[in-house]
Chain A
Amino acid sequence: MTDFQQHLQIITRRVLSLERLWELARFQPNDAQREAIIHVDGPLYLTAGPGSGKTRVLLWRALNLIVFHEVLPGEVFLSTFTEKAAHQLQEGLQSLLGLVTNLTGRPYDLTPMYIGTVHSLCRRMLSDRRRFSVDRQRHRPPTLLDELDQYFHLARNRTWTEVRQCAGLEGDANGIINGIFGVRSESRHVAVTNCLALFNRFSEECLDSDHALYRLDNDASSLRNYLQTWNLDREGLSLLVRLYAAYRESLRTGNGVEQTDFALSQQEAYRIVETCTGSDQVFRHVIVDEYQDTNTIQERLFFKLAAGTGNLCVVGDDDQALYRFRGATVENFVEFPARCHTYLGRAPRRLSLEINYRSQERIVDFYTAFMQQANWAKSDGQDGFYRVMDKDLVAHRQSPLPAVVASTPAEPTDVCAEIATLVRRLLDEGKVGDPNQIAFLFPSLKYRGAMLDSVRRVKEALEAVGLRVYAPRAGRFLEVDEAYDLIGLFVHIFGYPPRADLRGHDYQAYMEWLQSAEAQGEALMHSDPLLDGYVKERRAELVRVAQDYRALLRTAESHHWDLRAPYDPDRMKRPLYNAHGYSDEGKRLLASTYLDRVVRERTAKGQPFTLGYILKRVTSIDWNVLDLFYRLCGFEHFKRMFDLAERAEDEGPVTNLGLISQYLARFMEQRVPIITADLLVDKLFQKLFFGSYLFALYRRGETEMEDADDPFPKGRIPFLTIHQAKGLEFPVVVLANPRKDDRGPQRVELLMRPFLEREPGEPLERLAEFDMMRMFYVALSRAKNLLVIAHYKGKGQRINAPFITLLDAGFPRIPTFNLNALPAAQEKDEALPKIYSFTADYLTYKKCPRQYMIFRGFGFVPARSQTMFFGSLVHRTLEDLHHELIRRRESHE
């Protein structure tokens, strides 16, 4: 080692300290944060109020472990609730570790780190043969179905019939199933949707079908009482359990490959951890964010993973538990100390992050007072509470100025107008820089796919003062203008699907939507002759290939050639070439020397092409739906949308186009990757695309796919559900509907309870109230500078009880609110640093800034995804080879 090298080592070893890193990152942790970051040994129970900087704490905690405690990135398991949060944490950590590298020269690779949603981590565990398999011989993990895939799987004719038959259900199955869910409908869509909601809950609670059926048949009086109290039918429950068993079987055997869903993949991961020796010590630290939203199987998994080390850190806020409908069990968090004792044999260290860095003092006071309006005591309070009670939230931004204001109690139209005027003033007077800094939050935005009247009123009031709204979850996504435009042009190119034998409101509404889209497409073509010409050319092309296919088919039939027989060019080429009505373009394809060569090669290998394949090949077209999408985007109407986004005037249209590209990519991936003429002959393509895929999206009211990075386009006011707003913050928040009716416990919860193998937790009759309180708490705590509450009054209007109490006569109202005292919203300071990659970001931007904006900024899916698929295939094959070599080496040793 040279003297220089020795000097370097001395320097880089000593310049590093956590405090120095905090200084460089301009982070000044408070005492609780500091303690949470440096806690290393044993379980940690971290209660974190809204805006208390828990994400930063998690970030620094992970960094502290990796940099200062020799924990390898691959020994950290960090679970987050959303992929977005995982992405942010990973980028933040990478950036901070980059800082460490800049100080010490030591590089860090986060690739082995387990960071992501619990679903993605489970999936990773299933394929991590190195650490979670003894012999590296486990089969390829099952294909994971997301919610939409799951729906398509079960709703498919064949699967649905098989599942019903397996469950012993004949006749009016849909009506019977829907009846158990309390719905009078014969719709398969409704039945499938309800079943999936329950099946997922079953999976999350690790329901064993056989055991459940046994209990139903043999259980004691408590079950009878329960069924009687909630008016449930034992046979109905039994049927649902059988359907569940059949659904699981369908995943195992259907489609030729084993499939799984999110909930079941967790079960499988748990099973692996249970059976694989040493898997409880793979991770030296298990860290779980948003622990209040974990479900039973997740809780078991986390404790199992941490059993070997005891290092389980959970972070959460029971007051922000929102996802009961997805199986979340808030008791997992509230009762964590006791569970810790049970599973790990020791009590966790409790730390509470109570300083709120987000909101003005008055806002914090308001939502703290709001939560005190409910009685959280278990029975008489002797047995404790359903909530972590010893919290003392303190605002970091102390100010006596009012920051919470309500509208004048009035009829909805007047309230909306008053709020719209206030919003206009906030913008005009520079209190916020862009409309997307003002969020309107609602308990829900739509009902049965259509925008609620209460939401529409607010939207119209805002539009009346010249403001535009971005409401991706209000109404169907397919009802946005851009979807009308695009799908309308698609209708003109591909033509209508054949009329299906479907009844019902949904189908009628869908067909009307399709007609409107077609009319919109026509208007666009009318306004742009170039577009008109392009659409007609594509249409003619499709007609031509369909005619060619028919002509070739007729020739084959006239010669009695079997389409499955090998293609024999010497015998078949000439008659096909001379087929009556076969176009010149088609002839060129058939006569190509390249095709001849390929055919000869395949025949020589003993793998000749079939005649059917050749007919498809010479009549296929060289573009797919995504190509078509991008070509249409090149026309003036759509180009204007990109120009608007580029000038940062209005990003809404391009954001919507990005979402459409994602839906089209999914269609290609799952249904029709290449458009061939045989699909066009009997309008099979139109059936698949318009009649099945788009219809399913339409009736499901698909709205879920949003840009993970920046979902709120500039220039528009975001309308969000409160669930959607979780984890976000805005300078100004308008709670536009402080009303959530108590409709009792959800049906799925009622149907699930008899099968629970754990303590049931919060009583059914109080669930609705607790959930309402937590939901509004989330809404109220999103505001930074100003919280505006709509106060409706009048016939048919009401707001929930806690608001009635709090919005008393002395409460600040909009007309008397002094806007001057309100601080101007600061430009959003990126809380966590973002990492830009050299190839995906820098080089793409350098190549073309607009392309960068489209693909990286708005999440458009590239049209030529085949190359990526091939890349993945190569990668996975190499990985397989790698594992096989290691396995052989180990077995040899």
Chain B
Amino acid sequence: MPYPGELASKAAHAEIIRNPDVTAFLQECNYLTPPSDEECQAVAARFVPPLSAQVRTPAFVIAVDGSNHESSIDDKLPSTKIGYIKIGAVLIDLQQYGSLKVGKYVDPFRVAELQNQASALAFSIPSANIRWGNQPTVRESLRAWIDQQFYGPRTRFNAADPTTSLRSTLFHLAARRPGGLGTGDPYRLKIHKCPQCGNGPVELEDVPEQQYCPFCGAEVYPTDCLRVWEEAQEYQSNGVVMSRLMLILEHLVPFHYMRFLFKTAPLALSEMAFFVDGPLAIFGTAAWLHRSFMIFLQEVNRKLAKHGCHPLLMIGLQKTGQIVDHVSLIERHVSNDRLLAVDDEYRYKYILAGREPSRGGFGFETYYGQDLIYKTPTGRIFVFALPYPYPSKDEPGVDFVEEKVQFGHYPQLPTAIALINQLESDLYKNAVVPIALAHRYTAISLEPGGKVLDLLTRRALNA
């Protein structure tokens, strides 16, 4: 770390270059190399035309994206930080969207109107060296404040009804958790252990009152089940926590919509598509959520099928990442209007550079959707994911690794493709309009967004 005003030496790297160990290390590294033309052609041959089918595109799209920013409270105290997360959900009426095109062009003013139908959840996070209320540590502050925000009126579909809060959605999902930590009761959940004493599991109810650990009497919170507190730092940036929480929220918010609609107007779900940014997967301490998502989606689809409705459409769209990198290498060899379901063999061979396959198949502990690569008739290429068609990866009699890549198991695939074709955007590479709008609505720019948040933090804390 430099001192203020200090400039770095211009020759400091020479020692590294001269070090023979470094040279030897570089020579022994294995890494992903661009495929040859022959390999590319072989890979491209795996792509097939998508099944043509009569589809009924949904009436609405909800696209969710998130963004975060960490502000220091003062230039003199750069290690004292507050984090901000913004989760945006953009609602697009596709009929309205279809009418935007006038001739070859899209009416920009009306696109701007679309963005007015957006909602946002803003979360603040006590980061390094910040304590909230009477909480003794950053970690305790983080736990209490996250829980309060999940429960707050702004996260509710009906501000007067706490059972419509984001926290209640978490209860509904946690109740579906397989194994001993599931309760089967949407008003009760279990956290695997008390963050204070480490004993567990601890069962909590969806009630407004503060609840306490039965073992040690410490305060416990329903949102502790997300386990983001495990990565909290007292004196350093909590960027990791923020990233984890943002990822969780990006997936949780669509399920929040789904849960409430499922309860009040379930068939409306067959009229909707949900776009989230990134693969359909939850990483880190809250990865267990992916199983609850799978179970919940299965319940929704069963109900929709009972009424003769299409299954719910949820699409994870990846703008960046390993598959996107891989695709850019082979793109020119793939014909237009071609599709590929990324199977484990392909992934480990071409994308993950020969990494050892994981138990139960790729993403066994994290993914709830299948990645697909699609090149549109206009030549744009998309990496997207659809939810797995099973409530679990251990379905009896199902070879999940084989079955998950069969197109026939994804009745919503033709609709997804039609929707991507309809919504592909010139604005960003690899993006569809809803995600682009959600991103634009959510992204906190360094300037002026980040600067303004810095000012807010400083003014509020200094006041």
Chain A residues with a Cβ under 8 A of chain B = 1-8, 10-12, 14-15, 20, 24, 26, 99, 101-105
Contact = CB atoms under 8 A, between A and B. Distances in A.
A102 to B, nearest CB: 4
B265 A103 contact: yes
| Most chain B CB inside 10 Å of its own CB: which residue of A6, A8, A12, A26 | A8
B330 interface: no
Contacts of B60: 10-11, 14-15
Given A7-B119, A11-B60, A14-B60, A103 B154 contact: no
Given A24-B267, A24-B307, 18 more contacts: A2-B155, A3-B120, A4-B119, A4-B155, A5-B156, A7-B89, A7-B91, A7-B119, A11-B59, A11-B268, A11-B271, A26-B308, A102-B267, A102-B268, A102-B307, A103-B265, A105-B261, A105-B264
Contacts of B257: 4, 7
B291 interface: no
B196 interface: no
B41 interface: no
A10 B91 contact: yes
Interface in B213-264: 256-257, 260-261, 264
Interface string B262-278: 00111110011000000
B268 A15 contact: yes
Contact of B266 (A2, A7, A11, A102): A102
B210 interface: no
A103 B270 CA distance: 9
A24 B308 contact: yes
A77 to B, nearest CB: 29
Contacts of A4: 119, 155-157, 164, 256-257, 260
Interface residues of B, number: 33
A2 B265 CA distance: 18
9 contacts: A1-B159, A4-B164, A7-B119, A8-B261, A11-B91, A11-B265, A12-B264, A102-B265, A105-B261
Contacts of A12: 264-265, 268
B391 interface: no
B343 interface: no
Contacts of A7: 62, 89, 91, 117, 119, 257
Contacts of B260: 4, 8
B331 interface: no
B268 A2 contact: no
Interface in B270-297: 271-272
B309 interface: yes
Contacts of B119: 2-4, 6-7
A26 B59 CA distance: 19
A2 B272 contact: no
Nearest to A1: B159
Given A11-B271, A102-B266, A5 B159 contact: yes
B271 A15 contact: yes
B414 interface: no
A103 B271 CA distance: 9
A103 B308 CA distance: 13
B267 A99 contact: yes
B337 interface: no
B226 to A, nearest CB: 20
Interface of B: 59-60, 62, 89, 91, 93, 95, 117-120, 153-159, 164, 256-257, 260-261, 264-268, 271-272, 307-309
A24 B272 CA distance: 15
Contacts of A26: 308
B268 A103 contact: yes
Given A3-B120, A11-B271, A105-B264, A99 B156 contact: no
Contacts of B308: 24, 26
B268 A104 contact: yes
| Most chain B CB inside 10 Å of its own CB: which residue of A11, A101, A105 | A11
Contacts of A3: 89, 118-120, 154
Contacts of B93: 10, 14
Contacts of A104: 265, 268
Nearest to A104: B265
A101 B265 CA distance: 6
B415 to A, nearest CB: 15
B194 to A, nearest CB: 32
Nearest to B265: A105
A498 to B, nearest CB: 62
Contacts of B157: 2, 4-5, 8
Contacts of A5: 156-159
Contacts of B117: 7, 10
Contact of B272 (A11, A20, A101, A102): A11
Contacts of A1: 159
Nearest to A16: B268
Given A10-B117, A15-B271, A2 B159 contact: yes
Nearest to B166: A4
Contacts of A6: 119
Given A11-B271, A102-B307, A105-B265, A2 B91 contact: no
B435 to A, nearest CB: 17
Contacts of B156: 2, 4-5
A269 B441 CA distance: 63
B261 A11 contact: yes
